[in-house]
Amino acid sequence: MKTARVAFAGAIHTAFEDPKGLRLADGRVVPETDVVWLPPFETGTIIALGLNYAKHLKELSKELTITEKDEPLVFLKGPGAIIGHQGQTRRPKDVTFMHYECELAVVIGKTAKGVKAADAMAHVAGYTVCNDYAFRDYLENWYRPNLRVKNRDTATILGPWFVDAADVADPHNLSLSTYVNGERTQHGNTADFVNNIPELIEYLSEFMTLQAGDVILTGTPDGVVDVNVGDEVVCEIESIGRLSNTIVDDQVFGR
Amino acid sequence: MNFDFSPFHLSGVVYGTLMNDPEALADLGEQVNEAPYKAPPKAPVMYIKPRNTLAATGSALCLPAGHQSLEIGACLGLVIGRTACRVPVGQALDYIAGYTIVNDVSLPHDSYYRPSIRFKARDGFCPIGPRVIPASELNKPDELDVSVYIDDNLVQQSSTAGRVRSVAQLLADVTDFMTLQAGDILMLGAAARAPKAPAGSKVKIEIAGLGCLENTVVNEEELS
């Protein structure tokens, strides 16, 4: 099943797919254009991966006969960065390189502590699409990626749908694409993960207890480009959803 | 843990600050200009303590197998009182509801370039408390004595004074790019040369006017 969280007519609702738009839990069917999309679940700890699609890294590792993988590059995000489908993301005027990152978001469904990879998928509740923007101009070499680059208000978009894990046959074989103003600029497949979902859950749950609502953003493939004010950015993952977002300028935010 | 230090409700969102003591950068000497850092930090150096790290006074700090000690980051915690976005320095203190003590526990690590989150995000690595003191009862948050005791021996004496960013300046700089909400905690950052606590030791952090936050370091094997 797919569920969304939307604001409509003075309240927040759980919403379902319907041929005529969206069906709210209370029975009302409303056009998609009449709702405000919120992140599709209440986020707990937001865990993000860097460099998890490095195909070339795998190739290089084989050449070097490296048998052990490096530790995954993990960072955390705060709740203020999160917005929903069809939201606005601010591009500060002093920025010269701001790029999207289309990522499969894995939502934890039950507490995981010391979980082995073989048992890990039982802890996954479902999936959604994430677009996690980076602002390269602000990159500094202290506690990378520093929060000014990766934890800005409005810069992490989740949605539109939360998709039950049971409805996704193989999360490690999903095509991902990003379109900027309709033109495809990024394309990859989750089959190319360096660390797959069970490996990530085993790694993380060794030192931190994962709880329902925690989410793992699994990294992005190559193909990130600068986006500008007015651009519509769509991140699409096969079977999961199509997440759209618009870039706006400082003026919209009264700056 | 219970996040209600009545009348304050903590949201569970906790941000840490590093390198906010000029001596911490000074200790690195020329390294700050060399690879991998290549320059001193410009923006506040920040990180997140996730909800699995949050703990209360009296809790056990788990020392994982293969490690000798835990680093004790004695921090002033600013408890945000209302939505704080682009807060001007001159008004920043008005956005703080109160203050508390945060023990930002870490596994000791030498590199600040891209340290693994397993150094700071382990279960129970962020005790907070023992209470929140209303801002109205603490007029000078930038002039507080901070003491760390390990097994009742004073091992670090510092102050919230003389920081790279004062309480107000830090809140202004942070809220320029990320909004903080009521109940969020922002740490001012520990003083340079954080002390280390071995297994079995009692750790006590005292900040003038805020009381004492006490925890015990326990070997992982003994906890399980």
Domain range list for chain A: 1-38, 41-253
Peptide bond into B141 cis (omega under 30): no
Q: Does A146 touch chain B (CB under 8 A)?
A: yes
What fold, for A41-253? Fumarylacetoacetate hydrolase; domain 2 (3.90.850)
**Conformation bin of residue B12: beta by default, left when phi > 0, alpha when psi is -120 to 50:** left
From B154's Cα to the closest Cα of chain A, the distance in A is 30
Select from A78, A144, A210 the Cβ nearest to the Cβ of B113: A144
Contacts of A164 (CB under 8 A, 6+ apart): A1, A2, A125, A126
Provide, as residue numbers in chain B, all residues whose Cβ is less than 8 Å from the Cβ of A147. 15, 46-48, 177-178
Q: Do A146 and B51 touch (CB under 8 A)?
A: no
| pLDDT at residue A123 in the model | 98
Q: Which residue has the higher pLDDT, B110 or B123?
A: B123
Among the residue ranges A65-69, A212-216, B180-184, the one predicted with the least confidence is A65-69
Give the bridge partners for A127, in sequence order: A106, A163
Q: Which residue has the higher pLDDT, B170 or A67?
A: B170
pLDDT at B39 over 80: yes
From B219's Cα to the closest Cα of chain A, the distance in A is 14
Q: Does A127 touch chain B (CB under 8 A)?
A: no
Read off the pLDDT of residues A190-245 as tens digits, 9 standing for 90 and up.
Answer: 999 999 999 999 999 999 999 999 999 999 999 999 999 999 999 999 999 999 99
The number of C-alpha atoms within 13 Å of B197 and in the hemisphere containing its C-beta is 35
Provide, as residue numbers in chain B, all residues whose Cβ is less than 8 Å from the Cβ of A48. none
> How far, in Å, CA of B184 to CA of B169, rounded?
17
pLDDT band for position A55 (cuts 50, 70, 90)? low
- In terms of CATH, what superfamily is A1-38? FAH (2.30.30.370)
pLDDT band for position B224 (cuts 50, 70, 90)? low
| pLDDT at residue B111 in the model | 86
Three-state secondary structure call for residue A91: coil
Q: Chain B residue with minimal CA distance to A135?
A: B177
Burial A155-177 (b: 16+ CB within 10 A, else e): bbbbbbbbbbbeebeebeebebb
pLDDT band for position A149 (cuts 50, 70, 90)? confident
| pLDDT at residue A60 in the model | 45
Burial tier of B189 (Cβ tally within 10 Å: 0-12, 13-18, 19+):
buried
Rounded to two decimals, the ipTM of the complex is 0.95
| H helices, E strands: number in chain A | 4, 19
Q: What does each C-alpha distance from B130 to B119, B138, B186 come to in angstroms?
A: 24, 16, 16
Provide, as residue numbers in chain B, all residues whose Cβ is less than 8 Å from the Cβ of A47. 50
Query: What's the CATH class of domain B4-223?
Result: alpha beta
| pLDDT at residue A59 in the model | 45
pLDDT band for position A69 (cuts 50, 70, 90)? low
> How far, in Å, CA of A86 to CA of A84, rounded?
6
| pLDDT at residue B180 in the model | 97
pLDDT at A67 over 50: no
Q: Chain B residue with minimal CA distance to A142?
A: B113
pLDDT at B2 over 60: no
Contacts of A188 (CB under 8 A, 6+ apart): A53, A102, A175, A176, A220, A221, A222, A223
Q: Do A208 and B118 touch (CB under 8 A)?
A: yes
| pLDDT at residue B221 in the model | 86
Average pLDDT, integer, range A67-86: 87
Choose among A32, A30, A26: nearest CA to A14: A26
Q: Do B52 and A209 touch (CB under 8 A)?
A: yes
Q: How many Cβ pairs within 8 Å bridge chains A and B?
A: 99
Select from A45, A144, A148 the Cβ nearest to the Cβ of B50: A45
From B56's Cα to the closest Cα of chain A, the distance in A is 17
Boundaries of every domain in chain B? 4-223
Provide, as residue numbers in chain B, all residues whose Cβ is less than 8 Å from the Cβ of A152. 177-178
- In this structure, the strands spanning B185-187 and B14-18 are parallel
> How far, in Å, CA of B162 to CA of B148, rounded?
18
Average pLDDT, integer, range A105-118: 98
Phi, psi of A18 (to 5 degrees): -155, 145
Total residues belonging to chain A: 255
Q: Chain B residue with minimal CA distance to A113?
A: B123
Strand segments, DSSP code E, in chain A are: 2-8, 11-18, 21-24, 29-30, 36-38, 46-50, 73-77, 82-83, 87-90, 98-99, 102-108, 124-132, 134-135, 156-164, 175-180, 183-189, 215-217, 232-237, 241-248
Three-state secondary structure call for residue A81: helix
